[in-house]
Chain A
Amino acid sequence: MIPELGHFALILALGIALLQTVAPLIGYARRDAKLLAFAGSAAQGQFFCIAVAYVCLTISFVDTDFSVAYVAANAHTDLPLIYRVSAVWGAHEGSLLLWMFMLSGWTFAVSVFNRRLPADLSALVIAILGVISTGLLLFMLLTSNPFERLFPVPLQGRDLNPLLQDFGLAIHPPTLYMGYVGFSVAFAFAVAALITGKLDAAWARWTRPWTTTAWMFLTLGITLGSWWAYNELGWGGWWFWDPVENASFMPWLAGTALIHSLAVTEKRGLLKSWTALLAILTFSLSLLGTFLVRSGVLVSVHAFASDPARGLFILIFMAIVTGSALLLYAWRAPKLVSIGELNLFSREGLLLFNNVFLVVAAAAILVGTLYPLVLDALNLGKISVGPPYFNAVFLPMIAPLFVLVGLGAVVPWKKGKVGETWQRLKLPALAAVAIAIVLPLALHGRATLLAVTGALLGAWTIIAASQDVWRRIRAKRQFITGLTSVPRAVWGMTLAHAGLGVWALGVAFVISYGFEKDVRLAPNASTEIGDFTFGFVGAQEAKGPNFVAQQGEVTIEHGDHSVATLYPQKRFYPSQRNVMTESAVEASLLRDLYVSLGERFDDGSWSLRIYVKPMIRLIWLGGVLMFLGGCLAASDRRYRLAMAADRKAVLDGAQPA
């Protein structure tokens, strides 16, 4: 009964989504206020239906109702409750439902928080979001219905893929999707502006918090994914340039560019059509990401069983959405005239450079990710492009960004002065050089080019970014009043930029000073890696709720004193006959000690992967700082006050007419 209710709710949602698309568009053409106002109610109704469907699927999972095919394929009676709830998005059908849930949630939010927007803009935005939901709902109902029944009903389910039974992974997809889907709002705003032909400072101000919110979720999602891969895949790496990682990273780069170009559009009325194009591209890259992951065209830990019909549907859907948006852009963008001159040595000029580097980096990754697929589709051979390619093109593209961040913090809008800039950046530059030389030597006793460069760029970014806040505080007489007078947006920007610096430090140090070693150890044997002695005590059987494990015991000593004892596991999940590596990590800010079990040999010895990873935590800390920065920036009261003011202006303007 409950699955049918969910299925019915989905069908109802499809009907509402159609109305949500058509009614406001007719309303806009006929200037009919009633039809325009219908958009909001439709969005709320659709959200309610999708929420019902989502809850229904969750209930089916909690009750382990194996008559639902999707539940039978992804749950087991021994599966702990939390993973039964997260199993909803453990495979294709449910993750689409989650995607849909997020999309309708975002639309709902637009309908609630944008009461202050001009009625036609808000209705158009909701209508365009309706187009996307219609497409996705059709996709779900036609090719991947999560409520499909299974007969005869199996006695036991096939269980959730053990790779997904981890807390990091339980929350990684929802945050990532919040980001992906959130860019649909920026997309809808851009398309609506192309339709109305009005893309002004007020438009940019309305769009900014939505974009920043989507961006911060995507940032957190990618960070969580990286952390999960490190903990759960047993390879000890944090980024693999896996096509699916690239699929999430490309919208991130484009979205980052979008945040910055929106700032220029708001403050200076420049780069208007570029901003609109970026908004379209960012969401298109999000859709591409979904396509790459869900169609199964990729070899990856993320790829689910492939089904060509699904891939084709998403491809066509993507072609329609992106294609028509770009057509509209080609037709209408010439109308979006930017007022004023763009001086290259000014904040907007630097932001333009930032956009160039970010977009070129995204393009380079796009080429590396798609080229093998295109070759394969054309039957020209199968190739793969390895991580060295991505490192070789990405790092040179990204390094100048750090220099720009520092400059951008002191160069004012409109026109910068070289002398003044130098005066303000002299000290930060000196400090960064000093740190770049001292830090590697002090921590590791030797300097590598990469470590020095990373420390230089990281320190430069952190120091130069912070001085904006510092100057604002100094401008007030008292420290406390100064501290509270700094707007949240500035705090957010500073925090995010500092996060970038922290990330760079982490990356450079992990690569420069990390040790990785695969060894074969008999019980009670030991090996030395870096300054540490890793002793393998042995392995014993251990039991979990739905798995049995071999648990190793590894003692770590530094000189004479013991640092930690780690218990890495090799788990066997009988329901899926799957083996999983559960690594053990002794974590601290300055270094991680990482051990994972390989396999047992006939003589009782084991193969082990042992890693020493200095400062790897900083990589994720950087991501978290960027996320927090996004939170602060998106919640700046300026947006709320400005919204009220805009609304008032609209009302006042409407009265006399």
Chain B
Amino acid sequence: MPVIAGGAAVAAAGIAIGLKALDEREIPKTAILAATFFVVSLFAVPIGPSSVHLLLGGLVGLFLGVGAFPAIFVGLLLQAVMFGFGGLTSLGVDTVNMALPGVALAALARPLMARTAPATRGLIGATVAALAVLGTAGGVTLALALSSADYVPALKIVALTYVPLAAVEAVITGFAIAFLARVKPEILPWPKEARP
């Protein structure tokens, strides 16, 4: 399937760039976020006609940048191997869907966040998280629609379940970023010269 192959190619590129950019001082942080993603996204809550779990794409993207690709890939790989979630064939597509929106949005938001007060940073972080979830929803929908036209009517279900998820992730990420921006701003990888 071209979708699976394309997803795998993009994921491989993202992982390669992420690993290359990985500073040794970033390793523990990357591992902690990979572990957090692995654990948190195992737990699902029933919402409406389906069931969802946290994705944390925005949070991981804000903390790690391109490093989100290897982190999320490791989390997904372990989920697939140990619990049979997701499956190995769709691993590439899933990695791209979860990592790419967060990485791209975080790259856009970082220069903005570097110039603002901690509370505003939290707000921007929340926006990034919400948009990253919607980006993941869009990616999932696109991948399904490209795979088979039968999936198109199910857009309704996707919209129904991802919108509340976006709100929840916005709150979690917003508080996490606002808290860390105030207490440990050096954790967040802003451009150094722009830090107030």
Do A and B make up one complex? no
Chain A residues proximal to chain B, CB less than 8 Å? none
Chain B residues proximal to chain A, CB less than 8 Å? none
